[in-house]
Chains A and B, each alone.
Chain A
Amino acid sequence: MQTWDDRQPIYQQLADLLAAQLLDGDPPEGEAMPSVRVLAGRHLLNPLTVNRALQALGDEGLLENRRGIGLFVAQGARERLKAAERERFLQQEWPRLRERLRRLDIGAEQLDWEGTR
């Protein structure tokens, strides 16, 4: 069964997981999110936890509540997620990666930028 790590609350981990799926276009912008019960069943989570995760995504402006129908993926959600991910990479991952590349004496010319290997 699915395991969750102990570093963050589970709802936060589910929100991250759902955000990653939204970034991949699942579900696409303007489409309905799966219901709380479906998500709870799929991830074997308490529905309250799922609610909190969806709430968190809503607070970030990624989902919008259409009254009486349910939650939908907001327009511009992917762009917003991508911008946040890009920022996170540049701020957090890139300095560490650069440090490692320097330590290993790897220059830009040695890296395969085309991904054709």
Chain B
Amino acid sequence: MSTDQALVQAQHLSVRYGARRAVDDISFTLPKGRVVGLLGHNGAGKTTLMKALVGLVKAEGQLSVLGRDPLRERVALLNEACYIPDVAILPRWIRVADLIRLMGGLHPRFSAERSRELLRRTSVDLTDKVGKLSKGMMVQAHLALIAAIDARLMILDEPTLGLDVLSRKAFYEMLIDEWCDGERSVVISTHQVEEIEALLSDVLMLNEGKLVLSISLEDMDRRFVALSHDAAVADEMAAAHPLLRYRVAGGSAALFDGAPPEHVQALGRRVRPSLVDLFVALTRKPELDRTQF
């Protein structure tokens, strides 16, 4: 991946809250046209990292977003990046039509026509007051507003938290269908890993402020090897030191970083490693090891 196409470049990035490092010396690059999942447990640093990306917190190290320094060039950056923070921030008393008018005044690259077009996909009416919308509708309205900004990067912090399954599906469907065009990128933080795995092209995995994985899904399938196997060979599997052992339909599986020795591979059947399993393997706390089985 050539760096001139990178939308985000971070080198040794850290964010400190007092003595604690919420983001701890991480480096990564995000190219254009990607759907990036930012995964981590609560408190892993996801929100802090996203805030750093849009210049809301001061970070140490080097950070370039759309070729700009988020902290110093925040206004210019927000012309080309859009952001939904993890709290619903739309004023409850306003009508949707007025929100569109407000956005038109606030953002130079916002298209009112486009937002109305996006809203037609939803059951949200222009005359609805925000406070009267269900949570699912509110998030859809929010997405319709920010997806109507002609930007190159969208940052979504836990966008589907607290939504039911149909609302989550509708949200992601609109995101994929209306935003992802092969040029724009989106970064989505979540801990509902299973659900968005197939949507993602890349993964950033945070654990206690550290970046434990930064990889494309394609490379993930190549690098990590999951073997499903019979209980009879469980000891031999364990002896090969897998990252994780877990249950799958019809038996057990072992997950390896890199190909295990051939005699071990011959004991099982290779399956597609799931992001959830990898997430568990790379983010669990060591003291939990014993309770895994």
State the Cβ distance, A93 to closest chain B Cβ, in Å: 20
- A42 CB within 8 Å of chain B: yes
State the Cβ distance, B195 to closest chain A Cβ, in Å: 6
Provide the residues of chain B in CB contact with A46, threshold 8 Å: 35, 176, 198-201, 217
Chain A: how many interface residues by the 8 Å CB criterion? Answer: 20
- A44 CB within 8 Å of chain B: yes
Contact among B195, B199, B248 for A6, CB-based, below 8 A:
B248
B-contact 0/1 string along A1-38, CB 8 Å cutoff: 11010111110000000000000000000000000011
A7–B172 Cα gap in the complex (Å)? Answer: 25
Q: Is the CB of A48 within 8 A of B198?
A: no
Provide the residues of chain A in CB contact with B199, threshold 8 Å: 44-46
State the Cβ distance, A44 to closest chain B Cβ, in Å: 5
- A81 CB within 8 Å of chain B: no
Given contacts A7-B272, A45-B198, A49-B198, contact A37 B177 (CB under 8 A): yes
- B169 CB within 8 Å of chain A: yes
B-contact 0/1 string along A39-74, CB 8 Å cutoff: 011111111110000000000000000000000000
Closest to B177 in A: A41
Provide the residues of chain B in CB contact with A45, threshold 8 Å: 176, 198-199
Provide the residues of chain A in CB contact with B218, threshold 8 Å: 48
- B226 CB within 8 Å of chain A: yes
A46–B198 Cα gap in the complex (Å)? Answer: 6
Given contacts A46-B201, A47-B182, contact A1 B177 (CB under 8 A): no
Provide the residues of chain B in CB contact with A40, threshold 8 Å: 176-177, 180
Given contacts A1-B168, A48-B201, contact A42 B173 (CB under 8 A): yes
A9–B222 Cα gap in the complex (Å)? Answer: 11
Closest to B182 in A: A47
- B221 CB within 8 Å of chain A: yes
Contact among A1, A4, A6, A10 for B165, CB-based, below 8 A:
A1
Contact among B181, B200, B221, B271 for A7, CB-based, below 8 A:
B271
A39–B49 Cα gap in the complex (Å)? Answer: 32
State the Cβ distance, B38 to closest chain A Cβ, in Å: 15
Provide the residues of chain A in CB contact with B248, threshold 8 Å: 6
Q: Is the CB of B221 within 8 A of A9?
A: yes
A-contact 0/1 string along B175-192, CB 8 Å cutoff: 011001110000000000
Q: Is the CB of B177 within 8 A of A44?
A: no
Provide the residues of chain A in CB contact with B173, threshold 8 Å: 41-42, 44
A45–B198 Cα gap in the complex (Å)? Answer: 5
Closest to A35 in B: B177
- Interface CB pairs A-B, < 8 A, 18: A1-B165, A1-B195, A2-B198, A6-B228, A6-B248, A6-B271, A7-B272, A37-B177, A37-B181, A38-B177, A41-B174, A42-B173, A44-B172, A46-B35, A46-B201, A46-B217, A47-B182, A49-B198
Seed contacts A1-B169, A41-B173, A47-B180; 10 additional CB < 8 Å A-B pairs: A8-B272, A9-B221, A10-B198, A10-B272, A40-B180, A41-B174, A45-B198, A46-B35, A46-B176, A48-B218
